[in-house]
Amino acid sequence: MRIPFCTFFCFLFLFASEICADEILSPSGTIKSPDSKDFFQHSAISDKFNETWSYQLVFDNGTKAFINYATLYVPGSGRKIGCDLSFSNFKGKNPSVGRQYPPERLKENKSLSKISIKDEYFMEGLPGKGHRVYFTANKGGKFFVDISFESALESKVKGNGIWTINGEKYAQYIHIPYGRITGKIAYNGDTITVKGYGYMEHTWQTVQATDLAIRSFNFSTAAANISYAGRIGITPNGEPWGHIICTKKDKITLLTPKTISDNGTIYSGKEFPKGRIQIHWVESQAPLSFDVSKPQQKCSLLNNFDGWFAKKAIKLMMGGEVFFYRGRSTDADNNIIDWSFTGL
């Protein structure tokens, strides 16, 4: 029997669409508060398993600090502990530093709820009121951060917090969606006492981040009437996933992205966005919209690795050079949004 060309073409189109479609499974289970098991280090369940604890600290004086503690696999070097800090607008400067150590340097003291790396970097106390993050390094300058959370909004996670994207696992725990912070920061001996607000998340994944998300972004707000905080990823095929926490009048809602547009056009994630991002939610709440056309800081992940070989290995592992675009803007209700986009 002869198949008409148009029927054959439609079959090929449908078949190609089926091949390209991403299988995205959200976490199953009831919504609960994150616990100590979510905070502490998880067992590596794959060769490329990596895990990151991240802080976005926004100070009232206009300075920001971004801290990451991570376990990761570096081709040719094996498993490593990574510690990095970036300052934005530290008295007009944007210095950053990164250090790498063997994995045995990471120590956990569960009785003290403390994760320490060489006693020069640590997270102390379960995430929430009283949680503390500490960072000190002397490389290309002297860096210091010692910040404690004076308060913290309640957080939630769905089930075990684990997403499945095309068979690979990604765990997402937003431990502190928003909290008031206080402490000290310093660069090259210039010490500043600071206050502001902070956001803290913890993620792990079974492959490299760029294998799951061609682009990801996290954001947080300091609005009194409503707050948003979380991270969203976009697959190489342009499909959004992840969730954020929305707190309004003490009611907490987990929001998952349905569609994302950039200046009115569906955003594929293949490039950094150019204008106003608009996110529509599966839960049918009002969309969130904010302008990202004017980043305040652009930096490369490679800045935080030592030597030509390490930088080459990381670039090869990630499939290219990974950049961070960071900034501040307002949503449709004039609430301040602090955001950070990551991608190749």
Q: Does position 6 have pLDDT exceeding 70, yes or no?
A: no
Residue 333 corresponds to which tokens in the numbers above?
A: 């209700």
Quote the mean pLDDT of the chain.
88
**For range 242-248, the mean pLDDT:** 94
Q: Does position 92 have pLDDT exceeding 50, yes or no?
A: yes
**For range 220-245, the mean pLDDT:** 91
Taking the C-alpha atoms of residue 239 and residue 23, their distance in angstroms, rounded to an integer, is 10
Cβ pair 237, 22 in contact under 8 A: yes
**For range 85-97, the mean pLDDT:** 94
CA angle at 63 for the pair 62 and 67, rounded to the nearest 5°: 145
Taking the C-alpha atoms of residue 110 and residue 36, their distance in angstroms, rounded to an integer, is 9
Encode pLDDT of 250-296 as tens digits.
899 999 999 999 999 999 999 999 999 999 999 988 999 999 999 99
Q: CB neighbours (10 Å) of residue 120?
A: 15
Taking the C-alpha atoms of residue 214 and residue 318, their distance in angstroms, rounded to an integer, is 10
Encode pLDDT of 102-159 as tens digits.
999 999 999 999 999 998 999 999 999 999 999 999 999 999 999 999 999 999 999 9
Taking the C-alpha atoms of residue 124 and residue 115, their distance in angstroms, rounded to an integer, is 7
Rg of the chain over CA atoms, in angstroms?
20
What is the per-residue DSSP string for 7-63? HHHHHHHHHHHHHH---EEPPPS-EE---HHHHSPPPP-STT-EEEEEEEEEETTS-
Check residue 73 and give its pLDDT.
Answer: 84
Check residue 184 and give its pLDDT.
Answer: 98
Cβ pair 197, 180 in contact under 8 A: yes
Q: Does position 83 have pLDDT exceeding 80, yes or no?
A: yes
Encode pLDDT of 306-328 as tens digits.
554 455 555 455 556 667 899 99
**For range 204-218, the mean pLDDT:** 91
Check residue 20 and give its pLDDT.
Answer: 60
Check residue 299 and give its pLDDT.
Answer: 74
Q: Strand 215-221 to strand 226-234: parallel, antiparallel, or no bridges (unpaired)?
A: antiparallel
Answer CATH for 23-343 from 3.40.50.720, 3.40.190.10, 1.10.150.670, 2.40.370.10: 2.40.370.10
Q: Looking up tokens 């008409």, which residue turns up?
A: 4
Cβ pair 292, 341 in contact under 8 A: yes
Taking the C-alpha atoms of residue 223 and residue 213, their distance in angstroms, rounded to an integer, is 28
Encode pLDDT of 28-78 as tens digits.
899 999 999 999 999 999 999 999 999 999 999 999 999 999 998 877 778
Taking the C-alpha atoms of residue 257 and residue 248, their distance in angstroms, rounded to an integer, is 18
Query: What CA–CA distances, in Å, run from 268 to 18, 66, 172?
Result: 18, 26, 22
